Amino acid sequence: MLYQIRQGSVSLGGELVLNHVNFEIKHHEKIALVGANGAGKTTLLRLIASELTPDRDDSLFLPQVWMAEQVTVGFLPQHPFEDDEVRVQEIMDQLFSGLDFHSRDYYDKRMEYDRILTGFGFDKTDVKKKIGAFSGGERTKLALIRLLMERPDILLLDEPTNHLDLDSVRWLEDYIRNYPKAVIIVSHDRYFLDETVELVYELQDGRLERYAGNYTAYREQKKKKLEKWARRFKAQQKEIQETKDLIARFRHKPRKASMVKSRKRMLDRMDLIDPPPLSDSHSFSGKIEPEVRGSKLVLETDHLKIGYDRVLAEISLAVKRGRKIGILGPNGIGKSTFLATVCGRVPSLGGDCRMGASIRYGWFDQFSGQFKEAETDLTVFEYMSKCFPQKEGREIRQLLADYLFRGSQAGLRLADLSGGESCRLVLARILEERPNLLLLDEPTNHMDIPARETMESAFRAYSGTILFISHDRYFIREVADSLLIFGEEGVSYYPFGYDHYMEREKKREDNSYQGLSPVQVENTLLIEALKAVPDRERHQTSRYSTDQSFTEWELDLALQAMTEARADLLANEEVGFNAGTVEAWLAAREDDYQELYDQWTRTCLDWYEKWMAWEEAFKGYQ
């Protein structure tokens, strides 16, 4: 045990923030602190860092906070550097004080320092600059580098992925997983938490509750807990009502007086179950269906050139109805331009772009959350009523509640909404308009976690087609069933989800397939084989990728299984032939031949079925 809080309470400004919480850190645990904004997560970190002390409680015989001897705690301060004129090199040299320049310890620490510095995207020459030459985000990264180099026994990280690009975040994930000591993390990056932590403490209403596992496991456990709580509450309310009905029925019958009295005592002594709290997010159970289904082929581009004063990318793509495609790539490479070109908001620089018959799209970008000046005095309820005049007030309130505008929040003025709330309201309106194609550019920017989880559920329930850009990896994983990847070498389509893509990227970096399942190996090899075909063939493949990449993959696996089954069958016949006698050959046939023949027949039929599916996918393009 490194650290423990027993029944600890902390008040700030006369308000109780932490209310008799219990918390502990063991050995090299990786722990996440989660909770709504203002719940007290940073307060708990400051308590662990000894920047705060718990409220005095004379009723406790043991100390509220206990820490093992010689345990060091590292906490990233909000203002890590006081002097803008000092050079980075002078600050970092303090990390090596007391070490012999020629010693192995010095060499190992220097190598670690160089690895962390480049991992966060700095060049070695940057250390010669003054602190004042760096942006706020870069200063935070430098402070984080210094903190990691100090290697405290308990590392406290408050939103460590802020200001980091994707490569730096992935590097930090790997570093924390392998950090040999304890780490406590507060972060809104759910994918980052999934990749790093093994315990989650949720802080709600001043109380802490512990969950084993990463962020996704915590959400599943909490969902089941609330469902069980709701069932128990409902069952007790039913029992109470039935008992009250029974009392009312027999209260005036003298023969039932003792029974009525007994039932009244039972109600008086019953430990009432509190009603479960409302979930901080909403889960859509049914489908969100487009008003018009639209054609099977939603979008087709042929040598579409996108850009403004120069061509950023050339894209040939066919998008089938129902696909949910996440668009990935660095900033400035053409992702937003592609979406704007598809719907005609930006003219193309060449090539063709065609939408299918009866396709009606919904558009969302960074400006969609900005309301017209004439609308800013409207309340949320009035705005939605104006958008859908055919709906009754009760329907409007239920719609708003589904998107977390509950109770008095429906009365908020549009001018008073935060950026995340404005975006959520606009997305609710777009989904309720029921288009059959959604074009979304960073739809969850500025949203808190409950809002993001609500929108993830809505997009999963939506049965139309989605093309969306996002930097939220958890959101991409939850919504996208395939990816469109913008890179320096061009645009490529990946017919699987984000987890599969990341696993493939890791294996490519390791230059090894060790640890992949056979099916995952086949997936990876197929994608790389498709990339290796000549340019003209690769262009055709990318054009038909949304339909045919998957069917080609299935056909390839079926062909391989059929080939292996035939080889086994021929090998069995070879054994029989080499036996030299008819009797030995017949014995070999009796043992294995029939089973192998049946297996070969099954693989042939399976290949034929896949081939027919492949033919169907190509129909209409040839």
Q: What is the pLDDT of residues 166-189, one digit of tens each?
A: 888 889 999 999 999 999 999 999
Q: What is the pLDDT of residues 202-216, one digit of tens each?
A: 999 899 999 999 999
Burial level of 581, CB count in 10 A (0-12/13-18/19+)?
Answer: exposed
Give the pLDDT band of residue 530 (cuts 50, 70, 90): very low
Least confident interval from 62-66, 76-80, 318-322: 76-80
Distance CA 101, CA 69 (A): 30
Q: What is the pLDDT of residues 47-64, one digit of tens each?
A: 999 999 999 887 777 788
pLDDT value at 255 more than 50: yes
Average pLDDT value for residue range 431-451: 93
**Looking at residue 429, what is its pLDDT?**
97
Distance CA 105, CA 61 (A): 45
b/e burial code for range 513-544 (CB count within 10 A of at least 16 → b): eeebeeebebbbebbeebeeeeeeebeebbbb
Q: What is the pLDDT of residues 268-311, one digit of tens each?
A: 999 999 999 888 889 998 899 999 999 999 999 999 999 998 99
Give the pLDDT band of residue 468 (cuts 50, 70, 90): very high
Q: Quick one: how far is CA 195 from the chain centroid?
A: 10
The whole-chain average pLDDT of the chain stands at: 86
Beta bridge partners of 4: 24, 66
Burial level of 316, CB count in 10 A (0-12/13-18/19+)?
Answer: buried
What proportion of the chain, given as a percentage, has pLDDT over 90? Answer: 57
Nearest to 555 by CA among 504, 513, 615: 615
Model confidence, pTM: 0.76
Query: What does the angle CA 543 – CA 548 – CA 553 come to, to the nearest 5 degrees?
Result: 130
Q: How many C-beta neighbours within 10 Å does residue 256 have?
A: 16
Element (H, E) at 32: strand 30-34
pLDDT value at 546 more than 70: no
Distance CA 346, CA 443 (A): 20
**Looking at residue 514, what is its pLDDT?**
53
Q: Output the furthest CA–CA distance in the chain (Å, rounded).
A: 102
Q: What is the pLDDT of residues 341-384, one digit of tens each?
A: 999 999 999 999 999 999 999 999 988 988 988 898 999 999 99
Amino acid at residue number 315: I
3-state secondary structure of 200: strand
Beta bridge partners of 304: 315
Structure tokens of 575? 């054994």
Please state, in angstroms and as integers, the Cα–Cα distance from residue 230 to each residue in 28, 237, 239, 457, following that order: 36, 10, 14, 21
